[in-house]
Amino acid sequence: MHSLSSSSASLSSVPSHHPRHPPSVPLPTLRFCGLRPEALFPRPLSLYSSCSSPARRSARRLRSTVLVSASAGNGPPSKFDYDLVIIGAGVGGHGAALHAVEKGLKTAIIEGDVVGGTCVNRGCVPSKALLAVSGRMRELQSDHHLKSLGLQVAAAGYDRQGVADHANNLASKIRSNLTNSMKALGVDILTGVGTILGPQKVKYGKDNIITAKNIIIATGSVPFVPKGIEVDGKTVITSDHALKLEFVPDWIAIVGSGYIGLEFSDVYTALGSEVTFVEALDQLMPGFDPEIGKLAQRVLINPRNIDYHTGVFASKITPARDGKPVMIELIDAKTKEPKDTLEVDAALIATGRAPFTNGLGLENINVVTQRGFVPVDERMRVIDADGKLVPHVYCIGDANGKMMLAHAASAQGISVVEQVTGKDHILNHLSIPAACFTHPEISMVGLTEPQAKEKADKDGFTISVAKTSFKANTKALAENEGEGLAKMIYRPDNGEILGVHIFGLHAADLIHEASNAIALGTKIQDIKFAVHAHPTLSEVLDELFKSAKVNSPVSSPVSEPVGV
């Protein structure tokens, strides 16, 4: 039987209880969200009272799980302080922690900065707030569009500080939601930088040492700034600074045309800036399916105040100072010859993200990072310098570099918890959707057409491509947003969905039907019979499934999940 850690007691006014406490400990389930606190306290605690009823139901379900696991007698009490310690309280760590509690693990999460990590504080969340503004600005500025709807709007304007506040308030709100959800479930939030001291031993803060049966590294990433670029946080910035929207430059160069660059180009152009993309590869939006990229370029780049330089590196960027603008020296990506110099008002570095793994103490467990990433196998188990698995240490999220998306990190964390609680699990990364929240949105899951072709050639099968247009969708036309394309790459022989790519209104919300089908192994010949409400945008996918020509009338068994 282990004692309560002092830190957890101090973090919460309610005593910490763990499911594995013997039944003699009073009220073992008190900590769970919404579990009849009214019976114990004269007035409901604000935390509890804010719980919505679905949360209460899940908590109740949770308790029964816990009781079952307790009565099943999960062996003698652990000799460790925690069953699971997660280093990093971003979305990945949060997802892992919640699932760990559900599985009955005593869990702590170490955070050296703020709860929520990149996604909540400097990434997906505040950027969605800015994009919500840019989407509305676009609508209000589109005279043609408004006119065709019969609307008349006087000139639209915005207040920069108001927009910035909206993003900041959203981040704070989501951060406190995340913190509360973990606290309410009994996850200990330990503050300080976490360092692995040795097998199953972690230090956090100055000198607090705890032991853990299993450790998950979930330290995430920071913006990657290539050599030669001087970030001053004012005129040469990363997404960290841009999300604060401290100023809206007349002309901003965005280095990198991936998700981050594209989303910011949407925000900046809607707010009146002109944008110049600098892309090292030969075409914009590398990584997207080429056909989708091309269409997206027609809609998101060409008609807007955006120009671009492709096939060039920004070899040197100097912030604006001494009465000079921001200077960007471009060199040819292949020959390294100097090509041009740009003079702009600001530069946003969106060249990707670098893992944040320094100071983790990886040397103490003989792990050497690869370009900063922690090497892992398909089960997120950390691999040491000798190529052997390090027992009890896992790494999820951006720090392992498999798929640098918040929800991928969370899914990886859940997969790890499944494994440490005795159920083998391999995450199928090809079923993880991705989205870019431009106007309109881009989303995708699985393979692009070239990737699918390559795989087909290698494995000896053929692929087909089905496409549907938003132009034929009633709801899209009602919204006057007919621009868009959905595309599916599939195997005509067995109806397997290999990849789905959508560009159009609410594409990010539409992708899940396809990603769920891939995750569950649902075949086209089966899903095409599923019914979609009319008129909805989801009918774009309905049509997509129906337009596919599958030669196999019989549904085959679910394919084995594939790890990456």
Beta carbon of residue 163, minimum distance to other proteins (angstroms, whole number): 11
Stretch that binds other proteins, among 27-35, 164-172, 290-298, 554-562 (CB under 8 A): 290-298
429 is catalytic: no
Q: Is the peptide bond before 535 cis (omega within 30 degrees of 0)?
A: yes
Stretch that binds other proteins, among 82-90, 184-192, 272-280, 488-496 (CB under 8 A): 272-280
Nearer to other proteins, 147 or 467 (CB): 467
Q: Does 273 bind other proteins (CB under 8 A)?
A: yes
Nearer to other proteins, 275 or 317 (CB): 275
415: enclosing H helix or E strand:
helix 406-420
Stretch that binds other proteins, among 173-181, 193-201, 281-289, 299-307 (CB under 8 A): 299-307
Distance, CA of 490 to CA of 487 (rounded, Å): 10
Nearest to 499 by CA among 291, 301, 296: 291
Q: Which of 167, 174, 254, 275 binds other proteins (CB under 8 A)?
A: 275
Q: Does 310 bind other proteins (CB under 8 A)?
A: no
Size of interface with other proteins, in residues (CB under 8 A): 43
Stretch that binds other proteins, among 5-13, 182-190, 208-216, 274-282 (CB under 8 A): 274-282
Q: Which of 306, 442, 463, 541 binds other proteins (CB under 8 A)?
A: 306
Stretch that binds other proteins, among 88-96, 185-193, 243-251, 523-531 (CB under 8 A): 243-251
Beta carbon of residue 468, minimum distance to other proteins (angstroms, whole number): 8
Which residue is it, tokens 């950390």? 382
Helices (H), 50-159: 53-72, 91-102, 117-122, 124-141, 143-149
Q: Does 530 bind other proteins (CB under 8 A)?
A: no
Nearer to other proteins, 161 or 559 (CB): 161
Judge contact between 36 and 51, C-beta under 8 A: no
Beta carbon of residue 262, minimum distance to other proteins (angstroms, whole number): 15
Q: Which of 219, 421, 431, 468 binds other proteins (CB under 8 A)?
A: 468
Nearest to 343 by CA among 358, 356, 364, 329: 329
Q: Does 278 bind other proteins (CB under 8 A)?
A: no
C-alpha pair distances (Å), 463 with each of 409, 457, 527 = 30, 9, 18
Beta carbon of residue 319, minimum distance to other proteins (angstroms, whole number): 14
Q: Does 251 bind other proteins (CB under 8 A)?
A: yes
Q: What is the CA radius of gyration of the chain?
A: 25
Q: Which of 6, 10, 46, 159 binds other proteins (CB under 8 A)?
A: 159
Q: Does 343 bind other proteins (CB under 8 A)?
A: yes
Contacts of 147 (CB under 8 A, 6+ apart): none
Contacts of 269 (CB under 8 A, 6+ apart): 134, 275, 304, 305, 306
Q: Does 315 bind other proteins (CB under 8 A)?
A: no
Helices (H), 236-335: 239-242, 259-270, 290-296
Residue 436, φ and ψ in degrees, nearest 5: -125, 125
The CA angle 300-133-320, to the nearest 5 degrees, is 75
Q: Does 246 bind other proteins (CB under 8 A)?
A: no
Q: Which of 74, 469, 480, 556 binds other proteins (CB under 8 A)?
A: 469
Burial per residue of 152-186, b for 16 or more beta-carbon CB atoms within 10 angstroms, e otherwise = eeeeeebeeeebbebbbebbbebbeebbbbbbbbb
Task: Single out the catalytic residue among 2, 21, 99, 534.
Answer: 534
Q: Which of 23, 150, 303, 557 binds other proteins (CB under 8 A)?
A: 303
Distance, CA of 351 to CA of 439 (rounded, Å): 21
Beta carbon of residue 488, minimum distance to other proteins (angstroms, whole number): 14
The CA angle 233-239-245, to the nearest 5 degrees, is 70
Beta carbon of residue 201, minimum distance to other proteins (angstroms, whole number): 55
Q: Which of 75, 152, 335, 458 binds other proteins (CB under 8 A)?
A: 152
Q: Which of 82, 259, 470, 545 binds other proteins (CB under 8 A)?
A: 470
Helices (H) and strands (E) in the chain, counts: 17, 23
Instruction: Give the amino acid at 498.
Output: L
Q: Write out the binding residues for other proteins, residues 428-467 only, by CB under 8 A.
A: 467
Nearest to 485 by CA among 355, 307, 291: 291
Q: Does 534 bind other proteins (CB under 8 A)?
A: no
Nearer to other proteins, 107 or 273 (CB): 273
Q: Which of 61, 471, 534, 549 binds other proteins (CB under 8 A)?
A: 471
Beta carbon of residue 507, minimum distance to other proteins (angstroms, whole number): 14
Q: Is the dihedral of CA 457, 458, 464, 465 positive or negative?
A: negative
Q: Which of 52, 148, 176, 305 binds other proteins (CB under 8 A)?
A: 305
Distance, CA of 118 to CA of 353 (rounded, Å): 11
Q: Does 298 bind other proteins (CB under 8 A)?
A: yes
Q: Does 274 bind other proteins (CB under 8 A)?
A: yes
Distance, CA of 560 to CA of 428 (rounded, Å): 9
- Rounded to the nearest 10 degrees, the angle between the axes of helix 259-270 and helix 124-141 is 40
Q: Does 340 bind other proteins (CB under 8 A)?
A: yes
Beta carbon of residue 119, minimum distance to other proteins (angstroms, whole number): 29
What residues make contact with other proteins under the rule CB under 8 A? 137, 141, 152, 154-159, 248, 250-251, 271-276, 294-295, 298, 302-303, 305-307, 309, 323-325, 339-341, 343, 345, 467-472, 484-485
Catalytic residues: 534
